[in-house]
Homo-oligomer: A and B are copies of this chain.
Amino acid sequence: MLLSRRLFSMVSQPFIAQLERVLGKEAVKIATGEPSENSYDRRRRIGRAPDVIVVPKDVGQVSSVLKMCNEDSIPVIPFSTTTGLDGFSNTLQGGVFIDLMSMDKIVEVNMGDFNCTVEPGVTHETLNQHLHTTGLWFPGDLGADASICGMAATNASGSNSARYGTMAQNVLNLEVVLSNGNVMYTAGKDRRPRKSAAGYNLTKLFVGSKGTLGVITQTAVRLYARPAVCSVAVCPFRTVDKAIEAVVATLQCSVPIAKIEFLDAATVAACNRYSKLTLVESPTLFLEFHGNSEAEVAEQASLVEEIFASNDGREFNWCHAPEEQKKIWSSLHSVYYAILSEKNNVKGFTIHFSLPTSALAKAVSETRKDIDESGIFGALVGHVGDGSFHCIFLVDDSNQDEMKMIRELSDRIVKRTLASGGSCTDEHGIGISKRKYLENEYGEVAVNTMIAIKKALDPKGIMNPNELFTKN
């Protein structure tokens, strides 16, 4: 195969021949430079295409690829379902992209210990289908059907994290291939400890490290007993402020709600059109309660109903039928596409952030005001149960003035979030687009510490370069 497309490819012909020898010819693809190859990410088109895409079959092949790349100082970017949002499976320098989707085994389900181990090609929906008859369940519930290993790499969370935690809480062990090709188990081989106070917590260090410290080839996660009773309710509010105040009051009463999702009025209207719903077009909270019994769920629900009523909640509508519940959540999972279909010839531009409970109401109200004043169409949605917010803007990306305005608006919103004690990214990783905020969030000493760790584990800087840090 000839690399005719690019004059200054980092990847030489002998290197490719060697990859083909190790992985087999069919597992080594030369990138064509098509626009679709400029990003292994759902929405961002940043940087250039990879040189080569390899499709390893097992951890041994991943290890061989990393050894070769490390020797020749070639960048390595792993990806699986390409459902990321913040541009972390991108490259500014080309290099080798590792497509992990062929490693798709559910390695082990430990029924007695409530955990399982999966390879990168296994998504949360696949896993839950596999677990369907067991009474167990993995609660990571994202809009996209993401890979569980990818969710570990980005510290994803989703709509159930208010009750069940983010990936940081749910990952028990990782099999990781380090930059030099060595294979490591962050909690020790075959271990899925409930707790350990030995050594450093490498598992939590690698969760959210976004391919910059190593390639995750297996993830062991906690499973939960499938809740015996599950109730869903929808409650519209007169104003955004009142809806958010109701959320804050609910969180402060420690009700263990599984989901609290927020949509503003414009988004509810978009969902009505896109998903054929008939919701009241008003700022709305969508709730899900889990429990072992009807009584337990009823108790949680009646407390929340009371809190909502005292915050001018308009009505508490219950969805009892499972199909009705499914329809609600599937509409919310499609919210990005619902908003996108509101205008023609536009692109979606999203930002994600999280806030402390006590700062939610003010920050959300100021953000809504900012968006309204900008004249840009922007929807505000969020997994508010743990302080997550997303803004989805619709923009004509060929219009430079509009792009400039949206960048300034995003910048203002992210900086206000940081000033309110929040985080510049709640669950999608930092990516190329947000790495400029890292020092603002953590401070210089912490960022230098992260860089020192990165250098210690990846001395040649080959692992997903450009993802986290603007300096070296």
Contacts of A114 in B (CB 8 A): 252, 254, 357
Contacts of A428 in B (CB 8 A): 197
A450 to chain B, nearest CB (A): 5
Known: A201-B207, A447-B199. A452 touches B441 (CB 8 A): no
> Nearest chain-B residue to A207 (Cβ)?
B201
A residues 337-385 with Cβ under 8 Å of B?
354, 356-358
In the complex, whether A324 has a CB less than 8 A from a CB of chain B is no
Q: Which residue of the partner chain, among B183, B293, B387, B456, contacts A453 with CB atoms under 8 Å?
A: B456
> Nearest chain-B residue to A204 (Cβ)?
B204
Measured between alpha carbons, how far is A296 from B256 in the docked complex, in Å? 13
Report whether B427 and A188 are in contact in the complex, using a CB–CB cutoff of 8 Å: no
Report whether B445 and A178 are in contact in the complex, using a CB–CB cutoff of 8 Å: yes
Contacts of A434 in B (CB 8 A): 198
Report whether B189 and A200 are in contact in the complex, using a CB–CB cutoff of 8 Å: no
> A130-170 CB contact bits vs B (8 Å, 1 = yes)?
00000000000000000000000011110001000010110
Report whether B354 and A193 are in contact in the complex, using a CB–CB cutoff of 8 Å: yes
In the complex, whether A315 has a CB less than 8 A from a CB of chain B is no
Report whether A205 and B204 are in contact in the complex, using a CB–CB cutoff of 8 Å: yes
Report whether B184 and A446 are in contact in the complex, using a CB–CB cutoff of 8 Å: yes
Report whether A188 and B443 are in contact in the complex, using a CB–CB cutoff of 8 Å: yes
Contacts of A182 in B (CB 8 A): 445
A302 to chain B, nearest CB (A): 10
Q: Which residue of the partner chain, among B186, B200, B201, B425, contacts A196 with CB atoms under 8 Å?
A: B425
> A177-221 CB contact bits vs B (8 Å, 1 = yes)?
010001111111111111111111110110111000100000000
Measured between alpha carbons, how far is A191 from B182 in the docked complex, in Å? 35
A300 to chain B, nearest CB (A): 8
Report whether A197 and B254 are in contact in the complex, using a CB–CB cutoff of 8 Å: no
In the complex, whether A437 has a CB less than 8 A from a CB of chain B is yes
Contacts of A253 in B (CB 8 A): 225
Contacts of A446 in B (CB 8 A): 184-186, 188, 199, 202
Known: A202-B450, A252-B112. A166 touches B195 (CB 8 A): yes
Indicate the member of A161, A168, A183 with the most B CB atoms within 10 Å.
A168
Report whether B356 and A449 are in contact in the complex, using a CB–CB cutoff of 8 Å: no
Report whether A197 and B193 are in contact in the complex, using a CB–CB cutoff of 8 Å: no
Indicate the member of A248, A425, A456 with the most B CB atoms within 10 Å.
A456
Show the binding face of A for B, using Cβ within 8 Å: 110, 112-114, 154-157, 161, 166, 168-169, 178, 182-202, 204-205, 207-209, 213, 224-225, 248, 252-255, 292-293, 295-296, 299, 303, 354, 356-358, 386-388, 421-430, 434, 437-438, 441-443, 445-447, 449-450, 452-453, 455-457, 468
A-B contacts, 27 of them at CB < 8 A, read A112-B252, A112-B358, A113-B357, A113-B358, A114-B357, A155-B201, A157-B195, A161-B195, A191-B421, A194-B387, A195-B426, A196-B425, A196-B426, A197-B208, A197-B426, A197-B428, A198-B437, A198-B441, A199-B447, A200-B450, A200-B453, A204-B204, A204-B205, A225-B254, A449-B457, A453-B453, A456-B456
